[in-house]
Amino acid sequence: MPRTKKNAAGPAPPAPVPDTDSAEDARAPPPDTDSAQDALARIPGSVVGKLVAFSVLLLVVPLLAYFASLRLVFGGSTTPAAITAAVSANLVLAAYVYVAWTEESAGAPKRKTE
């Protein structure tokens, strides 16, 4: 069986990488930070307050539920206490979604039905 000759040149060289720092990119204006600050300024304080309050609740309620149920209800059994903490965290999240949903629909203009 005759042997075939291997390519003496070897594999092809890799393609050149395009230059990403082109002159066109250098002319791009910097991002508009004023519009980002304006957007943050338009967020009502009540929205931020509710977000902070529910964030604290999301930290505190599951911990309290875990340790209270561990000592008072389940007598040291950690698995049911952990399930209680997970359920309480989901309840806090559901409450936040409900509050956000009702707040959004209360501020939205009502449609006229003809």
Is pLDDT at 77 greater than 90 in this prediction? yes
Tokens found for residue 78 = 């950690």
- pLDDT value of residue 21: 59
CA–CA dist 97, 99 (Å, integer): 6
> Region 83-112: what's the mean pLDDT?
86
- pLDDT value of residue 68: 96
Residue 33 is given by DSSP the state H
> Region 45-71: what's the mean pLDDT?
95
Average pLDDT score over the chain: 81
Q: Where are the domains of the chain?
A: 45-107
Residues contacting 40, CB < 8 A, separation 6+: none
Tokens found for residue 69 = 């149920």
Q: What's the pTM value of the predicted model, to 2 decimals?
A: 0.59
CA–CA dist 50, 96 (Å, integer): 8
- pLDDT value of residue 112: 64
Is pLDDT at 23 greater than 60 in this prediction? no
CB atoms within 10 A of CB 32: 9
Q: Is 75 left (phi over 0), alpha (psi -120 to 50) or beta?
A: left
> Region 60-74: what's the mean pLDDT?
97
